[in-house]
Structure 1
């Protein structure tokens, strides 16, 4: 059973509830609640059960609110490719992540919504299809991506999701191309005959996203 002080701390973190409000609702002195939250064991069984009953009720309410928010927010987002506009929810949910659709004649990349503060500022995730980047990124794993505001900020040897002007996207290591204003896209798969390097001019590129992380299901 989780310690009551830990439950109190986690509830306050999730709900932003203030200690005076909890003290008022439970009839327990806020000084006592602060002590419990910091690890002191309750000395009053009556007060312990007062707080337990309060948390039981409020945690259920919080979970229900979270569920409703999840239902109201689509799982996918649309990222504009030809402008710096913000990502917006895909309300109809018809297009899968990784697809490029057109809205008012503007191309938009569909990505899965992702909530992982540990990854930093990412705009979404897409699923890897195929084995061209194995063993680094296996078929079916997901990658978190971030838009580049300037294609000239590419770091040689890093992983990027590159979308060409035919609206096809691939993940590759990117290097400076042999020709001016060109980039070289290199697969990680050891079979370079099957997955050879590709050179593209920047004019053939519609958008580039930095790969921030791989999300692998164990």
Structure 2
């Protein structure tokens, strides 16, 4: 027997807010017994144990299916304001593709694909890389997870960033200090530096910078 089933029972009740008498009625197990198990007493009646286990297995699976269904029904894209103080909003109509810049009340918003991956950290969306300027690190069609910055002027030199310029074009580059205090040097990873040379960009020509948190490839 799983002597930690009382912990499962407690976690299930905390998640669903279901009352113990209801579980007792559904399982046929005395509520006093369930309370004891939840508080750490080890099950002694194997029949009661299996009745509770069967109930929890069924209900936990149902909860997981409901959560997956909720995730599936969420909008696939988000409207990510360039202003980090504003909250991302689901794009309910789904008409604009990821990477598009839209304006809401004269405020620019970047359309990003939604992602649910807590292990990646504070990721706010996904953008697709186009072109070969960042190959072989980020090949065309590769997707990068990005996050807004609290302060554009505090950057980790040599790191990858998704940059949006004054033409509302977005691209990934490795960022270094520029030739002047008010500029940045944007470097491509492509070995053909004649075709993709480092470029200088004045801060005034940049609308937004997002930190690249991870890369995702299709196999």
> TM-score if structure 1 supplies the norm length?
0.80
CA contact (8 A) 2:10 2:38 kept: no
Q: Which range is displaced more, 130-139 or 16-25?
A: 16-25
Q: Cα deviations across residues 177-215 of structure 1 (Å, max 9, x unaligned)?
A: 113311111011111122111111111100000111222
1:134/1:85 Cα in 2 relative to 1: closer, same or farther (>3 Å)? Answer: same
1:61-140 residue pairs with structure 2 within 5 A? 61-82=62-83, 84-140=85-141
Return the offset for 1:60: 4.2
User: Is 1:142 matched up with 2:143?
Assistant: yes
Return the offset for 1:15: 7.0
* Separation in 2, partners of 1:11, 1:90: 37
* Max Rg structure: 2
CA contact (8 A) 1:12 1:18 kept: no
Residue of structure 2 in register with 1:196 after alignment: 197
User: Is there any run of 5+ residues in structure 1 with no aligned partner, and where?
Assistant: none
Q: What is the number of equivalent residue pairs in this alignment? A: 212
CA contact (8 A) 1:23 1:30 kept: no
1:35/1:10 Cα in 2 relative to 1: closer, same or farther (>3 Å)? Answer: closer
SS at match of 1:29: helix
Residue of structure 2 in register with 1:186 after alignment: 187
SS at match of 1:59: helix
* Separation in 1, partners of 2:13, 2:205: 46
* Separation in 1, partners of 2:198, 2:62: 54
Q: Which range is displaced more, 87-96 or 139-148?
A: 139-148
CA contact (8 A) 1:148 1:209 kept: yes
* Separation in 2, partners of 1:11, 1:99: 46
Q: Which range is displaced more, 202-211 or 132-141?
A: 132-141
User: Is there any run of 5+ residues in structure 2 with no aligned partner, and where?
Assistant: none
User: Is 1:46 matched up with 2:47?
Assistant: yes
Return the offset for 1:138: 2.6
SS at match of 1:191: coil
* Separation in 2, partners of 1:95, 1:172: 24
Residue of structure 2 in register with 1:164 after alignment: 165
SS at match of 2:153: helix
